[in-house]
Structure 1
Amino acid sequence: MQVNTPVKAQEPARFRVRGLRWWMFGFFILVMIINYIDRSSLSIAMPLIGKDLHINSVTTGIILSSFGWTYALMQLPGGWLVDKLRPRKVVSASLIGWGIIEGLTGLASGVASLIGMRMLLGVFEGPVQNGANSSLTRWLRKNERARGSTLVDGGGPLGTAFGGLLVTGLIVGLGTWRLAFGAVGLLTVLIGVLAWVFMRDNPANHPMITQEEVAYLEQIETEDEHDETAYSSAVKYFKHASPWMLLLAFFGYDAVLYGLLTWAPSYVSKVQHVSFGMTGVWTFVIFGAGFVGELFAGQLADRLIRSGASVNAVMRSLLGFAGVGVAVAIILVNHVTTPTAAILLVSLANFFLRWGGLYWSVPARLSAKQHVGQLTGAMNFSGNVAGIIVPILVGVIVQNSGGSFVGVFVMFAVAGLLMAVSSIAINYSRKLTS
């Protein structure tokens, strides 16, 4: 990474923005919002699609899982692409590609075509969060990265929340789920064009950055001075326990995340007997709570670390408590009798779950900057293995239990405890070097 390249003196004066790094990450929030609107659109529309195409619960689980098949496989090559081509190229191309696929999903005529479109969507979305996370090492100082990682990842629940309103609104307004997919796909392509215009891999080359912020970001080189003794290959980091614990923790985190992402709208609609229009509202509540949780955890983590608390104490406490919070809230859903109480407990579980946005700051704490994309890809691959398995398991459990989600919530509680125990075992304060 090079952050000390001066803005060329001969360039004409341009509009400058103070704190451009936060505008950049505001844009990444937008990217992740679009990412999750597109990713969750099928889940939101699935009650209608299932009726139109006569799809049962098990087949629904397979369709919802199919996104994860290719998304998981793209994590390691996606991380490599980000490290080699840099985030600007990868993020822009990915947005345009998955926008086209999202639009074409509206033409699906059966199970096979739905699975094919979801798999293609996974291919194009695969490298995006790796690209955003890699940018953390270029645009933010160490004491800002917890906020940065949760801001970016916070676009996920926010996108799912607004996706619930947007997709249901488009379906009701346009009269069909098919046109709704076309509209969302077009929006995504436009955001992809904007990404190419606005993003820069080297902050000093951005036409809107101030010289003061360039100087501020130059300090990243000093903060990352241990990178000089880094491993020559990202694989060698796995000689240590912490990367393995990170993969295991993220597996537990994504097990609940994908379970809620793919099945929460169906749970609200079919189990709690909420109308399709109100399903969008309750989806907004569930995933809006997750966004609030991400912002809270990121701000609290950075504040505690700046106040002098050790990184290990902060990260272990927050992520361990989050995992326990998920387990307790989600298991209590099986013991309440009203739809409102059940949905609010699911929302509380998602609030704690999304403290896991802090995981996206961990690869930069453990690895050299040239390996952040690859370690992030390995972490996300592990999580998305859960993303493949869990939607299918939920479908099987629901169909074999007569539509009940009791066993599903027990499974989510176990995943929350796995997240807690593994998070406590990670050493967040030591960058792994040769």
Structure 2
Amino acid sequence: MQANQVKTEGNVQKQARLRVPGLRWWMFSFFILVMIINYIDRSSLSIAMPLIGKDLHISSLTTGIILSSFGWTYALMQLPGGWLVDKLKPRKVVSTSLIGWGIIEGLTGFVGGVASLVGMRMLLGVFEGPVQNGANSSLTRWLRKHERARGSTLVDGGGPLGTAFGGLLVTGLIVWLGTWRLAFGAVGLLTVLIGVLAWVLMRDNPAEHPMITQEEAAYLDKIETEDGRDENAYPSSIHYFKHASPWMLLLAFFGYDAVLYGLLTWAPSYVSKVQHVSFGMTGIWTFVIFGAGFVGELFAGQLADRLIRAGASVNAVMRTLLGFAGVGVAVAIILVNYVSTPTAAILLISLANFFLRWGGLYWSVPARLAANQHVGQLTGAMNFSGNVAGILVPILVGWIVQQSGGSFVGVFVMFAVAGLLMAVSSVAINYSRKLTS
């Protein structure tokens, strides 16, 4: 009897030692890490493309097709990815996706030509497709309503941060290992390990996590009450498109992603080929360009929250910030055509990316327009619209560069037009009106 009591007390003490106050913020930090890894793997091909293009004798137009191929399957996986998250729950989807795309990333180092490279990129899009849905779904279980705006902006900021660190990591691995093929294997192995960690750390129900305190579990139990259904909502998300604001959101996000994917896929090649920067320095400049985007995203999220808390209207804040961001992108990117030094050109691209990533605010817009039960569907439509741009733009950039003999002048004009589309469409959205029947 006494032995059993000692054993029970020992188990209680062991469990107590495992409790982690503020566990939700540790989980939140892990989701930022997932997004960083997501974009490291997504951008790795763009960073290594100058070397891959030489090894496999790939033209600019074909390069554009290869860089676009990820988006073909990634966009198609948005709706089924959301269904998988609802059906299988985030823990299974996120961990399986990470392990799957880590394996594909590693196998990319064995490609022997354009066809196999396109195939690997399409498979990468399949596995990465559900991850952001899974992370966002899990965040709604781990963060209360008043914490999610800050949380979603920071998690989305993992995108430019991952691309920035990806520039350093992939470049460093290639220089250290002596070949891009082994570098892909190393990055793939890292991703698989993060996938295993996801299975260990994640729980679909926070209350079931072995490390959560009773106080935090009770705190998170209130989420279900906060996220109740809106009985005055439309019967389906399609009805929201009777109004102009959802259409403007799709156009704005299309313009935003046109520049985002353009820079994500082609900025390293521009720095290397047009500005004649060494491969090692290309990684450093890639870090600067996308690091500026991360700073821009944090700045816009904090500024928007502060202005709204100070009493400014949501419409005034969102229209001003997103409209100004689009114009800032257009002006900075078009000026690249008028400077003569690599440093000036790359700093202007960094400035454009700083303004561009203010568009992280778009992720908060569906919740402002739609009822709770339709936010995910409107977010999916928005993300699908952006990924259509992600499919088209890399090919268009490759075609323009090939037709112009290697010049990016026309490319930056296209990006400036996309920035203006982002600005005009953003100003036309009514952010203060919840659309209900």
TM-score for the superposition, normalised by structure 1: 0.93
Is 1:358 the counterpart of 2:361 in the alignment? yes
* CA–CA distance in structure 2, aligned partners of residues 369 and 97 of structure 1: 31
Q: Give the C-alpha shift of residue 284 in structure 1.
A: 0.5
Q: How does 1:4-403 map to 2 (within 5 A)?
A: 12-13=15-16, 15-225=18-228, 227-403=230-406
8 Å CA contact retained: 1:249, 1:419: yes
SS of equivalent to 2:157: helix
Task: Kindly provide the amino acid, as one letter, of the partner of residue 88 in structure 2.
Answer: L
SS of equivalent to 1:84: helix
Corresponding residue number in structure 1 for 2:413: 410
SS of equivalent to 1:13: helix
* CA–CA distance in structure 2, aligned partners of residues 307 and 139 of structure 1: 27
Task: Kindly provide the amino acid, as one letter, of the partner of residue 344 in structure 2.
Answer: A
Corresponding residue number in structure 1 for 2:7: none
Unmatched 5+ residue regions in structure 2?
1-11
SS of equivalent to 1:35: helix
Unmatched 5+ residue regions in structure 1?
1-8
8 Å CA contact retained: 1:83, 1:373: no
8 Å CA contact retained: 1:146, 1:301: no
Q: Give the C-alpha shift of residue 242 in structure 1.
A: 2.3
Q: Give the C-alpha shift of residue 397 in structure 1.
A: 0.7
* CA–CA distance in structure 2, aligned partners of residues 30 and 417 of structure 1: 32
Taking CA–CA contacts closer than 8 Å with sequence separation of 6 or more, which of the two structures ends up with the larger relative contact order?
A: 1
8 Å CA contact retained: 1:16, 1:208: yes
RMSD of equivalent CA atoms: 2.1
Task: Kindly provide the amino acid, as one letter, of the partner of residue 332 in structure 2.
Answer: A
Q: Give the C-alpha shift of residue 77 in structure 1.
A: 1.5
* CA–CA distance in structure 2, aligned partners of residues 44 and 372 of structure 1: 35
SS of equivalent to 2:16: coil
Note the alpha carbon deviations across 1:284-303, whole angstroms, 9 max, x for none.
Answer: 00001111111111222222
8 Å CA contact retained: 2:322, 2:358: yes
* CA–CA distance in structure 2, aligned partners of residues 409 and 221 of structure 1: 47
8 Å CA contact retained: 2:229, 2:372: no
| Seq. identity, % | 91
* CA–CA distance in structure 2, aligned partners of residues 30 and 278 of structure 1: 25
* CA–CA distance in structure 2, aligned partners of residues 202 and 431 of structure 1: 29
Note the alpha carbon deviations across 1:37-79, whole angstroms, 9 max, x for none.
Answer: 1111111000000000000101100100111111111112212
8 Å CA contact retained: 2:334, 2:413: yes
8 Å CA contact retained: 1:101, 1:185: yes
SS of equivalent to 1:55: coil
* CA–CA distance in structure 1, aligned partners of residues 226 and 312 of structure 2: 18
In structure 2, relative to structure 1, the CA distance for the partners of 1:211 and 1:301 (3 Å cut) is farther
Task: Kindly provide the amino acid, as one letter, of the partner of residue 68 in structure 1.
Answer: G
Q: Larger deviation: 37-46 or 203-212?
A: 203-212
* CA–CA distance in structure 2, aligned partners of residues 326 and 338 of structure 1: 20
Q: Give the C-alpha shift of residue 14 in structure 1.
A: 5.1
* CA–CA distance in structure 2, aligned partners of residues 429 and 203 of structure 1: 32
8 Å CA contact retained: 1:103, 1:181: yes
Note the alpha carbon deviations across 1:361-418, whole angstroms, 9 max, x for none.
Answer: 2223333444333322211111010001100110111111111111111110111111
* CA–CA distance in structure 1, aligned partners of residues 205 and 309 of structure 2: 26
Is 1:429 the counterpart of 2:424 in the alignment? no
Q: Give the C-alpha shift of residue 357 in structure 1.
A: 1.2
Note the alpha carbon deviations across 1:250-302, whole angstroms, 9 max, x for none.
Answer: 11110000000000000000111000010000000000111111111122222
SS of equivalent to 1:273: coil
Task: Kindly provide the amino acid, as one letter, of the partner of residue 70 in structure 2.
Answer: F
* CA–CA distance in structure 1, aligned partners of residues 301 and 118 of structure 2: 35
Task: Kindly provide the amino acid, as one letter, of the partner of residue 328 in structure 1.
Answer: V
Q: Larger deviation: 34-43 or 123-132?
A: 123-132
Task: Kindly provide the amino acid, as one letter, of the partner of residue 405 in structure 1.
Answer: F
8 Å CA contact retained: 2:173, 2:183: yes
* CA–CA distance in structure 2, aligned partners of residues 310 and 224 of structure 1: 23
Task: Kindly provide the amino acid, as one letter, of the partner of residue 147 in structure 1.
Answer: R
* CA–CA distance in structure 2, aligned partners of residues 236 and 202 of structure 1: 32
* CA–CA distance in structure 1, aligned partners of residues 429 and 229 of structure 2: 19
In structure 2, relative to structure 1, the CA distance for the partners of 1:282 and 1:305 (3 Å cut) is same
Larger Rg: 2
In structure 2, relative to structure 1, the CA distance for the partners of 1:217 and 1:310 (3 Å cut) is farther
8 Å CA contact retained: 2:228, 2:372: no
* CA–CA distance in structure 1, aligned partners of residues 316 and 147 of structure 2: 17
* CA–CA distance in structure 1, aligned partners of residues 397 and 338 of structure 2: 19
Task: Kindly provide the amino acid, as one letter, of the partner of residue 258 in structure 2.
Answer: A
TM-score for the superposition, normalised by structure 2: 0.92
